[in-house]
Structure 1
Amino acid sequence: MTPAATSPHGTPEAPLLTVHGEAEIDAEPEIARISVTITARGRDRRTTLDDLTRRNTTALDLVKSYADAVEHLTTGTITLTPELTPHGRGERVRSHHGRVHLTAELSDFTALAELTTRLADLELTQVDGPWWSLRPDSPAPAQARRQAVHEALRRAREYADALGTTIAALIELADTGADHTHPGRAPFERGGRRTALAHPDEPAQPLDLEPPRLHVSAQVSAQFTMRPPQI
């Protein structure tokens, strides 16, 4: 290729054509993540810590009982904080607050619905999520990138054809944005759980979780040289 052909502005002998390509595909989620917050509160520091340890052990054992469905289980921050009386002289501790955060990732969404409900049914336990995502090695982002490149090439050929010529060479291909994945609709819907009519000793009915379709997008910018058109 001659030096003139690599000019950033193109030349009459090698006109430069810049196009953009984008693609968006739908994919089924592969991983769901939930966050579990376990709390304890009491006047005595040691009793509060013992309660927190017991509840944390109960939650961990419950999550681990779904071994085949749970891919990752991690313990986050642990806090034990004294609460001081708002009035009076000196610093007097009124109570203690303890908190532990757990994060679990599951690939079995049927087990996810049951586990989420059972965790939420535990004493002083809060469950947040689920957050849906793809695996790091999912083929969906690569498929979106390929489609974006094909779209850029199709546009380049259409522009060249409109000028009565053809593209000659690829000068540059740039990824103009990181891969984006976002849910297509609400992350979950609560089913017909009749809590008010259930007996306190009966296990709670699993939530009806509806995994969303994930939108995976990719964008590229491409520069081509064209054979000189007859204008």
Structure 2
Amino acid sequence: MTMRSTMLLLAPAVLGVAAPALAQTAPTILPDATVLEVSAEGRTTRVPDVATIRAGVVTQGQTAAAALSENATRMTRVLAALKQAGVAQRDIRTASVALSPQYRYAENQPPAVTGYQASNSVSIRFRDVAKSGAILDALVAQGANQIDGPSLSLDQPDAALDEARANAVKIARARAELYAKAAGLSVARIVTISENGANDGSNPQPPIYAMARAMKASESTPIAAGETQVSVSVSVRFLLK
């Protein structure tokens, strides 16, 4: 677990509306009071338990109908392979369907249509990250020729986010006490807490495109979960005395 804090501001308070607080409206502060504002970030780590990967089929045909027909046949096998592997229907979502003409370009001539390309891809959530590589290999065997991902994330990030929030406030409090002591003051209480942003552990990876390969390999494609970082940034205003 690592944490850090950023942006410190020491200034006299002025009358007006304070930054939005998470729990309640900020109380009134006397004009001559001294307020310290600290922006801090709390972090924690978790092992991702969900991998999202997009897999699909790209086909070519002399006509639009031929390209779509071949694509539909192969995509049906891909979806059947997912079902057979135990992937729940709720974890399979169509990501894109496209059909486009293919052109031949020649100097001083208009583009000529040479055929059509059809594509269909699905977004798949793997709740057992360790098994996702073997399932991808099965999809390739059934006709999938385009894969990108994975994007690793947490299925239930709330507990990790709350831990990061608590860490952020703890860091802000420690920094406030340090600055108050350096200024010959002490921390009286917290005036407001505002959350500035959060990362729930989603960790999209650069796309990795894999075309169909020879299925002679004895080992499945490895997918390593590693660790993902959950973080929350807060701004805390302290009343000093």
TM > 0.5 fold call? yes
Superposed, 1:170-181 pairs within 5 Å as 170-179=190-199, 181=201
The one of 177, 183, 189 equivalent to 1:169 is 189
Query: 2:21 maps to which residue?
Result: none
Q: Distance in 2 between matches of 1:223 and 1:90?
A: 66
Shift of 1:48: 2.2
Kept in 2, the 8 Å contact 1:117–1:205? The answer is no
Secondary structure at the counterpart of residue 135 of structure 1? coil
Query: 1:191 maps to which residue?
Result: none
Kept in 2, the 8 Å contact 1:69–1:111? The answer is no
Secondary structure at the counterpart of residue 157 of structure 1? helix
1:42 aligns with 2:61: yes
Structure with max Cα Rg: 1
Kept in 1, the 8 Å contact 2:52–2:123? The answer is yes
Query: 1:51 maps to which residue?
Result: 70
Q: Distance in 2 between matches of 1:187 and 1:52?
A: 22
Kept in 2, the 8 Å contact 1:117–1:204? The answer is no
Superposed, 1:123-142 pairs within 5 Å as 123=143, 125-135=145-155, 137-142=157-162
Q: Distance in 1 between matches of 2:50 and 2:197?
A: 23
Deviations for 1:98-144, whole angstroms, at most 9, x for unmatched residues? 11111101111122121122223343511111110122544112211
1:102 aligns with 2:116: no
Identity, % of aligned positions: 23
Shift of 1:31: 1.1
Query: 1:82 maps to which residue?
Result: 101
Kept in 1, the 8 Å contact 2:141–2:215? The answer is no
For structure 2, the 5+ residue unaligned runs are 1-11, 19-28
For structure 1, the 5+ residue unaligned runs are 189-194
Secondary structure at the counterpart of residue 91 of structure 2? strand
Give me the CA root mean square deviation: 3.6
The two structures have a TM-score, normalised by structure 1, of 0.76
